[in-house]
Amino acid sequence: MDEQSGAPDRSGIPALGLGTWQNDDPEECRESVRIALETGYRHIDTARMYGNETAVGRGIAAADVDRESVFLGTKLWTDELGYDDVFEATAESLGRLGTDYLDILYIHWPAGNYDPESTLAAFEELYQDGIIERIGVSNFEPRQLEAARDVLGAPISANQIEIHPLLPQRRLREYCRSVGIELVAYSPLAKGEVFGIDVLSAIAADHGVSEAQVSLAWLRQRGLAAIPKAAGGEHIRENWASLELELSDAELERIEVIGDERRLVDPDFAPNAW
Ligand code: NAP
């Protein structure tokens, strides 16, 4: 267990983090981050595209925790993946977040200006210089992961992808496990759609918990980190309490085979392998 977060240690990536996409109001975003950290979260996920890095930085500064105990990640957008742009954008994000290093920096999508050789050369330099502690990618399929691994001297620590009970991503999970890349599950509550899934409702009722907690426990027990977005203290604390929920093997399997395939984040620049 990671002593700081009370969550299972996953090579330093705390199993439960706070997502911040669409947490657009600066006051609310700052408060969400502060409340999460004071609840026990030690993993905060943002992105340059979310437009809230300054508020996230203020939330970290306002919380009664050391920056060093927080696993902080941001992501570069598709139009800032040229070699020089990577350094410029990262420096700007560090300023907004009020920190001099990132625990992980992700390539948000393998699209736009992304070029495995030049983009990853810049990421590798940031990594060698200690500006970023881990190189992350997001929305990469095995094909893009292979190409990236071919040119990178440093390891890819994590791939952040959409995973929830309506999109269990078994093939990608298996691939990432085989090459030692951690998975960080985004939209782990299927953007709220977990509340309409009968299997989850039945398991939740048996344990006296919510469908959100069941979904998060399933991800954790499958060895995946998850970053649910929650704006208010109630949801933030409810999701944190999922760390206490233990599902049986039979329950995990019932969730695994729900069988629907619903991808909720599917922009037209997504990898065409999908
Ligand atoms: P999500 O976490 O699956 O769902 C968020 C929604 O669920 C919000 O409407 C939230 O409401 C609600 N919610 C949270 N906890 C709840 C609870 N206990 N009970 C009832 N409702 C609850 O969706 P997401 O925001 O798409 O994904 C999470 C994070 O993943 C994002 O914030 C972002 O950091 C990351 N992400 C990354 C990518 C990528 O391309 N890398 C793409 C999408 C998302 P409230 O806000 O009102 O609490």
Strand partners, 132: 102
The alpha carbon of 94 and the centre of ligand 1 are apart by a number of angstroms equal to 24
Distance 153 CA to ligand 1 centre (A): 33
Distance in angstroms (rounded) separating the CA atoms of residues 75 and 83: 15
State pLDDT tens for residues 162-214.
Answer: 999 999 999 999 999 999 999 999 999 999 999 989 999 999 999 999 999 99
Using only C-alpha atoms, the chain has a radius of gyration, in whole angstroms, of 18
212 in contact with ligand 1, CB cutoff 6 A: yes
- Residue 261 has a pLDDT of 87
CA of 227 to the centre of ligand 1 (A): 7
Classify the C-alpha dihedral 52-101-35-109 as positive or negative. Answer: positive
Q: Tell me, what's the pLDDT at 4? A: 43
Task: Look at the block and give the residue holding tokens 């970290």.
Answer: 60
Nearest CA to ligand 1 atom 34: 19
pTM of this structure: 0.96
Confidence at 267, pLDDT banded by 50, 70, 90: very high
Q: Is 189 in the pocket of ligand 1 (CB under 6 A)?
A: yes
Ligand 1 centroid to Cα of residue 267, in Å, is 17
Question: Does residue 10 carry a pLDDT above 60?
Answer: no
Residue 235 pLDDT > 80: yes
Residues 63-79 pLDDT 10s: 999 999 999 999 999 99
CA–CA dist 140, 145 (Å, integer):
6
Q: What is the mean pLDDT of residues 257-271?
A: 91
| pLDDT higher than threshold 90 for residue 253 | yes
Per-residue model confidence (pLDDT) at position 1: 37
Name the 3-class secondary structure at 117: helix
Nearest ligand 1 atom to alpha carbon 190? 3
Confidence at residue 273, expressed as pLDDT on a 0 to 100 scale: 60
Beta-bridge mates of residue 146: none
Whole-angstrom Cα distance, residue 97 to residue 102? Answer: 9
Q: Is 230 near ligand 1, meaning CB less than 6 Å away?
A: yes
50 is an active site residue: yes
221-231 pLDDT, tens per residue? 999 999 999 99
Specify the pLDDT at position 260.
Answer: 81
Whether ligand 1 lies within 6 angstroms of the CB of 187 is answered as yes
CA-proximal residue: ligand 1, atom 38 (nearest): 186
What is the per-residue pLDDT across 143-158, written as a single tens digit (0 to 9) for each?
999 999 999 999 999 9
Angle at 45 between CA 105 and CA 255, to 5 degrees: 115
Question: Ligand 1 pocket, 45 CB below 6 A?
Answer: yes
Indicate the average pLDDT of the chain: 95
How close is the Cα of 137 to the center of ligand 1, in Å? 19
The reported pLDDT for the residue numbered 3 is: 40
Question: Is the shortest distance between the CB of 74 and ligand 1 below 6 Å?
Answer: no
Write down the catalytic residue from 41, 50, 114, 127.
50
